[in-house]
Amino acid sequence: MNKYTLIGHPLGHSMSPMIHEGLFKLKGKNCPYDLTDITPENLSSKADFLRSLSGFNITIPHKVAVIDLIDEMAESAERYNSVNCVANKDGKLIGYNTDCDGFLLSVNSKNMPIDGNVLLIGCGGVGRMIAVETVRHGGKLTVAHIPEALEMAESLKSEILAKYPSAVIKTIDISKISGNFDMLINASPVGMYPKSDNCPVSDEIISDCGCVFDVVYNPVETLLVKKFREQGKTALGGTAMLVYQAVKAHEIWNGDFYTDDEVNSIIKSVEEKIRSDFR
């Protein structure tokens, strides 16, 4: 029987089993998907276990360290030197990064203009990936940062310009944001449960932005998303990205493809679960 898992530490509450088992079920497959908590010091000792799997996902803190245990990296993983999905292809472990696919498929599902004038809040982890994908797809990017993250923001800018010399990118202190933007992306944890009353930007900035994508998925509707919707603007929370990166993993593992209705059914189920678990 094909077996799949998510490795990380600590794992705590994860929606991954629900998402992946739901995707397998849609294709008539009964494949178990569970959680495997592995401490950093024990990762190398789990090499044989990982090779016994048909595929697995990786979360913090193993996305880079797991590279030493696999045989090959796809272009998406090499782009970020980060692996969050591994497929066992005839005994060869191949690493991928499906976080970028999750982001792109999410914003494209709502026809969001990442090729326009984009304001990005946050530049660490997922923010770094979103910044790269935005400039790769023609967006004019402004990275807004808190004072403590100035060095990180400037480093990201330099890294992007080194790889993509024609990229249009600038950094700005979050307190000095001005002007109009086609799209706002929140890649910071501001607004995440349990501090759900926080919003990363002011109402004035929201009025100057055409739409929003918020990577935060708990709560399902962050205050930022709510404020955009109250203005009649397109707003998307992070659940879509969470599900779409899993959808890409199933395409990689088994060549399975899903309709928009199928994906939306999983997104809806996950959102209902989040609302139920975090009342």
Q: How confident is the model at residue 1 (pLDDT cuts 50, 70, 90)?
A: low
| Token duo for residue 239 | 């659940």
Q: Which of 29, 46, 63, 273 is catalytic?
A: 63
pLDDT in tens, 188-203: 999 999 999 999 999 9
Q: How confident is the model at residue 65 (pLDDT cuts 50, 70, 90)?
A: very high
Between CA 172 and CA 205 the distance in angstroms is 14
CB atoms within 10 A of CB 109: 15
Percent of the chain at pLDDT above 70?
100
Q: Which of 239, 234, 179 is nearest to 211 (CA)?
A: 234
Q: What angle do CA 52, 68, 17 make, to 5 degrees?
A: 45
Domains of the chain (ranges, CATH numbers)? 4-97+242-277 (3.40.50.10860), 111-233 (3.40.50.720)
pLDDT in tens, 210-265: 999 999 999 999 999 999 999 999 999 999 999 999 999 999 999 999 999 999 99
Q: Which long-range contacts (CB under 8 A, 24 or more apart) does 62-65 make?
A: 62/7, 62/8, 62/9, 62/38, 65/40
CA distances from 40 to 43, 95, 273 (A): 5, 18, 30
DSSP 84: S
Read off the pTM.
0.95
pLDDT in tens, 84-117: 999 999 999 999 999 999 999 999 999 999 999 9
Phi, psi of 144 (to 5 degrees): -95, 135
Q: Tell me whether residue 63 is one of the annotated catalytic residues.
A: yes
Residue 279 has pLDDT above 90, yes or no: no
Residues 6+ apart with CB under 8 A from 217: 237, 238, 239, 241, 242, 270, 274
